[in-house]
Structure 1
């Protein structure tokens, strides 16, 4: 009896999912779009692009910045959970960690990684 609510919730979620999939199947478009299977990468259309063509460096820099701040978020949450147990040593280590990440952000900002000025060929 303790899990009755959980079972009912799972059944309701299953029914809602099946209803939504059925409605999409019944009322959705029947003819596939010509661009449905077209590759799309990071907002850059691949018209007349070959495997040897180059992309704007901003996409690579943005990916590196995303990695930088994902790592920050991944370490920030566990640190806040055990903050009281770490004491002054943990606080100093965390400030050092934030200082390194702030330096990375300032470096990227200074190099222009956050300025998005597209050329005509990328539009």
Structure 2
């Protein structure tokens, strides 16, 4: 009986979701076109449809930077939990960590790693 409210809420949410999908199918625009099914990712149109195509190096660099800063940002959460017990040493240590992290971001920014300027190509 304790879970009755949760089950009712789950069924109501499922019903609303199914109702919205059905209404979208029923009332939504139906204008098929060739560009509607065209693959499009990360704001850059796909120019070559083969799986052997090369990617711009900006994708790899941005992926590495994202991974680096996400992992380092996730390191801040445990520090906030034990901050009270670390004292001044923990504060200075985290200040240096954030300083190095900020320096790395500024270095990548200055080197142009965050600029996304592609040559204009058009789809044939």
Is this a same-fold pair by TM over 0.5? yes
Contact kept in structure 2, 1:61 and 1:113, CA below 8 Å: yes
C-alpha deviation, 1:52, in angstroms? 5.5
1:43 alignment counterpart: 43
Q: Does 1:74 align with 2:74?
A: yes
Structure 2: 5+ residue runs without aligned partners? none
C-alpha deviation, 1:16, in angstroms? 0.8
1:91 alignment counterpart: 91
C-alpha deviation, 1:19, in angstroms? 0.8
TM-score by length of 2: 0.71
Q: Which whole-Å deviations, capped at 9, do the CAs of 1:72-121 have from their partners, x for residues lacking one?
A: 33222232223213333432332232133112102101211233333333
Structure 1: 5+ residue runs without aligned partners? none
Q: Distance in 2 between matches of 1:97 and 1:32?
A: 52
Residue-pair matches, total: 123
C-alpha deviation, 1:40, in angstroms? 2.4
Task: State the superposition RMSD in angstroms.
Answer: 3.0
In 2 relative to 1, CA 105–14 (structure 1 residues): closer, same or farther, beyond 3 Å? Answer: same
